[in-house]
Amino acid sequence: METENEDEQIQKQCVQLFSSTDFIMEPKVFDTIKDYFRHGGAPDQVIELLSENYMAIAQTATLMADWLILTGVEPVDVVNMIVQHLQTLIEKHFEPKKADSIFEAGGVPSWLTEMTDHMNWRSMIYKLAEEYPNCLMLNFTIKLLVDSGHEDEITSVPVAAQQVEVFTKVLMTTIQRTIDSEANEWKRNIQELVQLACHSEHTYLYAQSVLSSLANDAKSMIIRRISEEIELHAKAKGHNVTEITLTLDGTTAYPKVYQPLCAMLSKKALNPADVTTLYKIYQSSDAPPVDLIRKPAFIELLITQLFDPESTLNPEHRPKYIGLLAYACSVAETNKKSSRKNTVNSKEELSQTTIALEKALEICISSKSTVDLISDLNELYKCLRFPIVAACVLRWIEFRIFDPSYFKLDQGTTPVHLIIIDEIVSLHFLLHQKAFELLVRFFEATFAELDTLVHLEFKKTILDRMVHMLSCSYVHPILEYMKKRWEQQDTDVSLIRHFVFEVLEMIGPPYEPSFVQLFLPLLQKEAIAGTIPFRTEEERKCVKEFIDHASTIVSSST
């Protein structure tokens, strides 16, 4: 009796399958027919059901594809149309449970391996894996793709973070790509790495641990820079990762340094008592490694506390803040694990840096007007030779110009503070980006207290500073910025015209193709150099010479 019931149940299951559309095309049709016959099924019913439900969908699609080719459509385009439609259907009707049952039925099917050889199908798998993170079949396929060397294609962080093996390979590939990237690709690559590392607390800790281990490599400074970018992003999202940072860089091995440093970095505020503690520790004969206080966040806090005109720092504590800042930025230590050597006299360098910081701070604090600043300009320029002093003065200029009362005291269209930026740019290549970012903020600020014409002249002065930066080899970011301003139509065309002609007066052949690609479109705009009469014959000549040279470069590259 039980056998009969079992036979009937299996027959019903088989009949249900035979009744489905185009079941005769399924790979398991023969196994199903055998099961049906084995449990007493009638051959006539099999033939009837399979033939009645045969709609020839696949064959019809093949026929239509042949017709399209006959009408003149390229075979490659026809294949792409079919693949795209199949992808749409799969994404629409995908069921994780049915997909997982594939493995239960007998291992990895050969067609899955074949699919991973094609970019279109791999893209679909990445998309499905992001939508169905718990699907075993998709997770297995992702691992299969990574093992096959396709980890650089995985751009979805949730997909990469599902499995530690996958995450490790994607992380290492992204780190290597970031290290090897050119300057114009750095921003995009570091952003991808930051998003990957900051996906969760676990991925952050894992990524920072890996970077900490790699920091002993010859490229330790690059690795450290990457680690700092990840830390900054985590803090920007509101996470306090100070303890993780101090643990991984070995600060915990020095409890007397760790406690005050951790307290200040966590609160994002300096405390005179903690600063005094650190100052005394680093003034001792057995001072800990300088790297412990050479953290960007800590340096930034010191600079702000010292050079913010609104700072409430007690003058009695100022020497300790300056001493700590000078120590962090000038003392060199021999590192046996890298090629860096102690090539300078640290004591002499420390003394000179301290004196320069003190002098610069005194000038900045005492300069209540432009006249005061101009009288001390030569002394300030001497101090600017030290990179940390230049960084501090740059920050002070930011505070001063954004002060609501600034333009009430200085009515000139070329504030002396902007001229100081020229000197900083000329002296320190590594401060170019910070200087440019500050100039952009000045250029885009409203400054409601300025008259419209005065504000326009002030913006021209900002552009003159950018032209000077361009002469100091900071080219592409500035041209990209001006091109963006034109494309977004949010800048007075007279300003862009002023920038273009100032650049033309300064440059000369030969020109790099990348420069031409960015600058030529600006010059070809009618509103900039088309219908406007040239101010001088020299101006017209500059435009013609550049266009002639640029046209030659463009034609040779095409």
Could you tell me if residue 208 is inside a domain? Answer: yes
**Cα separation of 11 and 351, whole Å?**
94
If asked whether residues 244 and 198 sit together in one domain, one would say no
Q: What residues make up the domain containing 206? A: 154-220
Residue carrying structure tokens 């207290």: 449
Q: 286-302: buried (b, 16+ CB within 10 Å) or exposed (e) per residue?
A: ebbbbebbebebbbebb
If asked whether residues 337 and 309 sit together in one domain, one would say yes
Amino acid in the structure at residue 526: E
On the CB side of 116, how many CA atoms lie within 13 Å of its CA? 19
Most confident of 105-114, 222-231, 463-472, 531-540: 463-472
548 pLDDT above the threshold of 80:
no
If asked whether residues 253 and 168 sit together in one domain, one would say no
Residue carrying structure tokens 């059901």: 49
**Cα separation of 108 and 96, whole Å?**
15
Taking residues 40-54, report their average pLDDT.
Answer: 85
Helix then strand count (H, E) for the chain reads 31, 0
H helices of 53-182, in order, are: 57-70, 75-93, 96-104, 110-115, 119-131, 136-147, 157-160, 164-180
401 against 156, higher pLDDT: 401
Distances in whole angstroms, Cα of residue 401 to Cα of each of 39, 442, 458: 90, 8, 12
Taking residues 87-115, report their average pLDDT.
Answer: 80
Q: Give Dmax over CA atoms of the chain in angstroms.
A: 112
Average pLDDT, whole number, for the chain? 86
Could you tell me if residue 302 is inside a domain? Answer: yes
Q: Which helix (H) or strand (E) holds 13?
A: helix 2-18
> Which structure tokens are listed for 43?
């051959």
If asked whether residues 249 and 385 sit together in one domain, one would say yes
Domain boundary pick from 370, 401, 432: 401
Q: pLDDT value at position 278?
A: 95
Could you tell me if residue 42 is inside a domain? Answer: yes
**Cα separation of 434 and 477, whole Å?**
12
188 pLDDT above the threshold of 80:
yes
Most confident of 131-135, 405-409, 550-554: 131-135
Could you tell me if residue 225 is inside a domain? Answer: no
Taking residues 350-374, report their average pLDDT.
Answer: 89
The pLDDT-based confidence of 126 (bands split at 50, 70, 90) is: confident
Number of domains in the chain: 3
**Cα separation of 366 and 349, whole Å?**
26
Taking residues 390-405, report their average pLDDT.
Answer: 93
Amino acid in the structure at residue 104: E
If asked whether residues 171 and 259 sit together in one domain, one would say no
pTM of the model: 0.77
Q: pLDDT value at position 25?
A: 87
Q: What is the per-residue pLDDT across 480-539, written as a single tens digit (0 to 9) for each?
A: 999 999 889 888 888 998 998 889 888 888 888 888 888 888 877 766 666 555 666 676
Count CB atoms within 10 A of the CB of residue 412.
Answer: 13
If asked whether residues 265 and 329 sit together in one domain, one would say yes
Taking residues 93-107, report their average pLDDT.
Answer: 77
Q: pLDDT value at position 110?
A: 76
Could you tell me if residue 552 is inside a domain? Answer: no
Q: Which of 215, 155, 146, 235 is nearest to 188 (CA)?
A: 155
Q: pLDDT value at position 412?
A: 61
Rg (CA), the chain: 34
Percent pLDDT > 90 in the chain is 37
115 against 261, higher pLDDT: 261
> Which structure tokens are listed for 241?
């990762």
The pLDDT-based confidence of 364 (bands split at 50, 70, 90) is: very high
Count CB atoms within 10 A of the CB of residue 4.
Answer: 10
CB 365 within 8 A of CB 395: no
Domain boundary pick from 344, 375, 401: 401
If asked whether residues 211 and 164 sit together in one domain, one would say yes
Enumerate residues 6+ apart whose C-beta is below 8 A from 103. Answer: 136, 137, 140
Taking residues 10-27, report their average pLDDT.
Answer: 85
If asked whether residues 251 and 355 sit together in one domain, one would say yes
398 pLDDT above the threshold of 90:
yes
If asked whether residues 247 and 393 sit together in one domain, one would say yes
* Helix 537-557 × helix 513-523 angle, to 10°: 130
Q: Which of 350, 329, 324 is nearest to 271 (CA)?
A: 324
Taking residues 2-22, report their average pLDDT.
Answer: 81
Could you tell me if residue 37 is inside a domain? Answer: yes
Q: What is the per-residue pLDDT across 168-178, written as a single tens digit (0 to 9) for each?
A: 888 898 888 88
Domain boundary pick from 342, 369, 401: 401
Q: What is the dihedral angle through the alpha carbons of 259, 265, 271, 273, rounded to the nearest 10 degrees? A: 20
CB 334 within 8 A of CB 291: no
Taking residues 89-106, report their average pLDDT.
Answer: 80
The pLDDT-based confidence of 468 (bands split at 50, 70, 90) is: very high
If asked whether residues 296 and 368 sit together in one domain, one would say yes
**Cα separation of 305 and 324, whole Å?**
12
If asked whether residues 301 and 209 sit together in one domain, one would say no
Q: pLDDT value at position 342?
A: 44
If asked whether residues 276 and 366 sit together in one domain, one would say yes
**Cα separation of 323 and 350, whole Å?**
8
Which of 239-248, 387-396, 434-443 shows the lowest per-residue confidence on average (mean pLDDT)? 239-248
Which of 15-19, 353-357, 443-447, 480-484 shows the lowest per-residue confidence on average (mean pLDDT)? 15-19
Taking residues 331-347, report their average pLDDT.
Answer: 55
> Which structure tokens are listed for 98?
């049915």
Could you tell me if residue 71 is inside a domain? Answer: no
